Structure 1
């Protein structure tokens, strides 16, 4: 009896140190990704933007500069995208990872840390794949707008329609389903108990599943970021705040609908201005 109590007493300080280390690593990662995103945004602003018919400007993120190859441009965009998404998603992802760790039960801190990292890797792999698709679509659309002045002149109106549609998306059953999956805590010991190989596979699968649900849930808000300003820090901050609130607020679905109402209003204003 005394030995069991002593063992539990020894595990408690180790667990506390492990959780503090986890939060410290997350804080450092968030700070680093935010700093790099701000630096990238400043760099893109310094490069300027291309004036387009219709009174708007096109970001240089979609263009190939002198001496660049398309694979190089795509790789640069993907790196920027992953870092930016890490800065934007970590505030809402960390509580999920925390619940995952709490569901672990008793496991070694080293193994727990590696499994937590694996869940995070799986999560951002989904966002990286999405970034590849976003770049291909964005570059193709930018090329069309440069060749077709009529399409370029319609871009402000189309942007307003996209924002309006993103607001309406916040009220759909699809959004509610994926948001509920994002907010759901992992089951006790999911991905941690059993054979080591099974634990690794389950951890990666959990990360991929979370990433898929969260990317689907964020589809409308991500679309706003793309059409309003992919490297605009103000838009990024607003989208990050919206994602975090709807994921962590006690009444997430109501928060999502309130955000949707605001976005619909913004979309109507953009359409009127266009």
Structure 2
């Protein structure tokens, strides 16, 4: 027996249904924004004095994951709030647990992405030592990462993933699952599309300083603009221009990049190796 169809919502494609759901589920959206605010407060306190610039040490796995999950929630909850509101409005059975489970699934997808990033950087560090130190290949890898992120903005894969994020109604209708387990699976699925959309921007954050609150805010703003600005092409090309400019500056004139911590610029030498324990 097939699952019952989700409740219909007014509006066409694109952002319209999600924005309509924001008005209908304003309390839920407000709760997500409050959680994002708490995440920002906690992250600012946790990261104080820890910005080592590009390829900042990630610490132990447990420490990094705790920071990564809260940081991701702080950065992503405002832009994913319309999707959660739309999901809540479409749910025929008004279970109060369904929206939180959807959000939990979304965070699970980003947690998996964080684990992958940690594993890749750990493998590079153990295989090549301090190759990511600023006075070795770190500067060039950081600049190249930003340029790759800029190029990815214009690829078909980015376009497809961003389309899913900007038009969540199609994803929800095509992937609908009833029940609590279904809510978790749908949240994880939407999170996977979000990872596909934003992984390059998050890689850019590592290249600029993953423990930098300033760059965390910049990347979060770019993600929000891409997902919510009505002028999609303007948002995409604007993000591309920002990443391209940052990449070229890191390669040619890193001191000119605002808020960038340049390792060794104060005469203390290069950065500590990736994976070192936090203070």
Short-chain TM bin = 0.7 to 0.9
How many positions carry a matched residue from both structures?
Answer: 233
CA deviation after TM superposition for structure 1 residue 23, in Å: 3.1
CA deviations on 1:132-163 (whole Å, 9 max, x unpaired) are 11111222333455455999512101111110
Among 58, 61, 65, the residue aligned to 1:61: 58
Among 93, 111, 117, the residue aligned to 2:80: 93
CA deviation after TM superposition for structure 1 residue 94, in Å: 0.6
- 1:262 & 1:203 partners in 2: Cα distance? 36
Among 60, 67, 70, the residue aligned to 1:83: 70
Structure 2 CA distance for partners of 1:24 and 1:251, relative to 1, 3 Å: closer
Gaps of 5+ in 1: 1-14, 50-55, 63-72
Moved beyond 6 Å, runs of 4+:
none
- 1:188 & 1:150 partners in 2: Cα distance? 42
Equivalent position of 2:234 in the other structure: 254
Equivalent position of 1:121 in the other structure: 104
Native 8 Å contact 1:82 1:127 kept in 2: yes
Among 32, 36, 39, the residue aligned to 2:38: 32
Question: Which runs of structure 2 are paired with 1:95-114 in the superposition (5 Å)?
Answer: 95-104=82-91, 107-108=93-94, 111=95, 113-114=96-97
Larger radius of gyration: 1
Native 8 Å contact 1:169 1:175 kept in 2: yes
The normalised TM-score by structure 1 is 0.75
- 1:130 & 1:226 partners in 2: Cα distance? 13
CA deviation after TM superposition for structure 1 residue 116, in Å: 0.7
Equivalent position of 1:65 in the other structure: none
Equivalent position of 2:168 in the other structure: 185
Gaps of 5+ in 2: 1-20, 255-279
CA deviation after TM superposition for structure 1 residue 103, in Å: 2.4
Question: Which structure has more RCO (C-alpha within 8 Å, separation ≥ 6)?
Answer: 2
The normalised TM-score by structure 2 is 0.74
Equivalent position of 1:6 in the other structure: none
Native 8 Å contact 1:146 1:152 kept in 2: no
Structure 2 CA distance for partners of 1:269 and 1:44, relative to 1, 3 Å: closer
1:220 paired with 2:226, answer: no
CA deviations on 1:208-261 (whole Å, 9 max, x unpaired) are 111001001102101100111001011101100000000011122431122112
Give the root-mean-square deviation of aligned CA atoms. 3.0
Structure 2 CA distance for partners of 1:190 and 1:200, relative to 1, 3 Å: farther
CA deviation after TM superposition for structure 1 residue 28, in Å: 2.5
Structure having the higher helix fraction is 1
1:268 paired with 2:248, answer: yes
Question: Which runs of structure 2 are paired with 1:147-186 in the superposition (5 Å)?
Answer: 153-186=136-169
CA deviation after TM superposition for structure 1 residue 92, in Å: 0.4
